[in-house]
């Protein structure tokens, strides 16, 4: 039984997700770029600029081996990311929407080539801390995390300008599957007898079912089975927004059904799949 579960290969989806993003950005009116998003203090232009920052950071680090990160004294990773993300966004306000679109298109294909060359089972370039802090992540999970980042930011822009899209099951389902890999870390402090299972059901065309089992002193992704000790069910929109804190834990609980072990079900509805 593995910690992270079966491999999710999202690499073929990056060009499609990016094309949907580029089509969206090209369709925006000038005023749309100033619409506020769920990201505090960031408008549509800022979120697009942040995605460009993600592209540049991964190409610089994973492709070019450039270790340019400089942490301030006693700065944690979440604090570093918050600071540097905001610094780039502020600088990016000088860039025209036309140039942002051009750079995303130009650099995106270079990212595709980077991912295509990766051995999915090799160690990740960047560990996925919200999936585990004591075990190295595989490359497929790191790449999957990047896909969720781009997809979620596209949805945040779509929400801001009321243009739904990019929720086709083949584009969205892998996002939910990668986010479900946060379950073992979410439950890490809750010890249970060996074989105890907690089950998450996500309803909708892109939804699915995921289980974790306590085995060998930790929670691990497991094959869904009968009679779990804890069960949580929510729809696909609720799940991705909970995982990225687009809604609060309380809102997610109000939109979910829970049964079984109350400690486990309460913990499962705190699932977080971003660095915070």
Picking from 26, 46, 17, 3, the residue whose alpha carbon sits closest to that of residue 149 is: 17
CB 222 within 8 A of CB 190: no
pLDDT confidence of 87, banded at 50, 70, 90? very high
Q: Which residues lie closer than 8 Å to 83 by C-beta, 6 or more apart? A: 72, 75
The pLDDT of 84-109, averaged and rounded, is: 97
CB 131 within 8 A of CB 184: yes
As a whole number, mean pLDDT of residues 72-76 equals: 85
- Where residue 249 falls (left for φ over 0; alpha for ψ -120 to 50; beta otherwise) is alpha
pLDDT of residue 26: 98
Q: Model confidence over 173-221: pLDDT tens digits?
A: 999 999 999 999 999 999 999 999 999 999 999 999 999 999 999 999 9
More confident residue, 224 or 229: 229
CB 127 within 8 A of CB 23: no
pTM: 0.96
Ordered by where they begin, the domains of the chain are: 11-166 (1.20.120.450), 183-268 (3.30.1050.10)
The token pair at 8 is 């999710």
Could you give phi then psi for residue 229, rounded to 5 degrees? -75, -25
Return the pLDDT at 78: 87
Work out the pLDDT band at 1, boundaries 50, 70, 90.
low
What tens digit of pLDDT does each residue of 105-154 get? 999 999 999 999 999 999 999 999 999 999 999 999 999 999 999 999 99
Q: Tell whether the model's pLDDT for residue 69 goes beyond 60.
A: yes
- Dihedral angle, C-alpha 97, 56, 78, 239, nearest 10 °: 70
The secondary structure of residue 158, as a DSSP letter, is H
The average confidence (pLDDT) of the chain is 96
Greater confidence (127 vs 71) lies with 127
Give the model's confidence band at 71: pLDDT under 50 very low, under 70 low, under 90 confident, else very high. Answer: confident
Candidates 127, 130, 147, 103; CA nearest to 9 is 147
CA nearest to 268, candidates 227, 237, 229: 229
Question: CB-hemisphere CA count at 13 Å for 1?
Answer: 18
- Mean predicted confidence (pLDDT) in 222-234: 93
């Amino acid at each position: 039984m593995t910690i992270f579960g079966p491999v999710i290969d999202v690499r073929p989806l990056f060009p499609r997700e990016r094309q949907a993003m580029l089509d969206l950005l090209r369709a925006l009116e000038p005023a749309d770029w100033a619409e506020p998003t769920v990201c505090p203090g960031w408008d549509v232009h800022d979120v697009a600029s942040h995605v460009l920052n993600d592209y540049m950071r991964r190409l610089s680090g994973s492709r070019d081996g450039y270790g340019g990160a400089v942490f301030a004294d006693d700065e944690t990773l979440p604090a570093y990311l918050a600071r540097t993300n905001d610094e780039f966004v502020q600088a990016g306000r000088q860039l025209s929407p036309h140039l942002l679109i051009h750079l995303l298109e130009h650099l995106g294909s270079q990212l595709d080539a980077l991912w295509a060359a990766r051995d999915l089972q090799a160690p990740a370039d960047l560990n996925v801390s919200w999936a585990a802090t004591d075990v190295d992540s595989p490359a497929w999970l790191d790449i999957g995390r990047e896909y969720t980042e781009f997809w979620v930011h596209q949805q945040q822009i779509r929400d801001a300008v009321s243009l739904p899209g990019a929720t086709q099951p083949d584009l969205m389902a892998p996002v939910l599957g990668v986010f479900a890999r946060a379950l073992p870390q979410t439950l890490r402090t809750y010890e249970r007898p060996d074989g105890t299972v907690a089950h998450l059901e996500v309803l909708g065309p892109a939804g699915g079912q995921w289980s974790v089992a306590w085995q060998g002193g930790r929670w691990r992704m497991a094959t869904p089975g009968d009679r779990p000790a804890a069960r949580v069910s929510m729809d696909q929109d609720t799940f991705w927004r909970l995982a990225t804190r687009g809604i609060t834990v309380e809102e997610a609980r109000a939109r979910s059904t829970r049964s079984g072990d109350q400690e486990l079900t309460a913990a499962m509805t705190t699932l977080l799949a971003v660095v915070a």
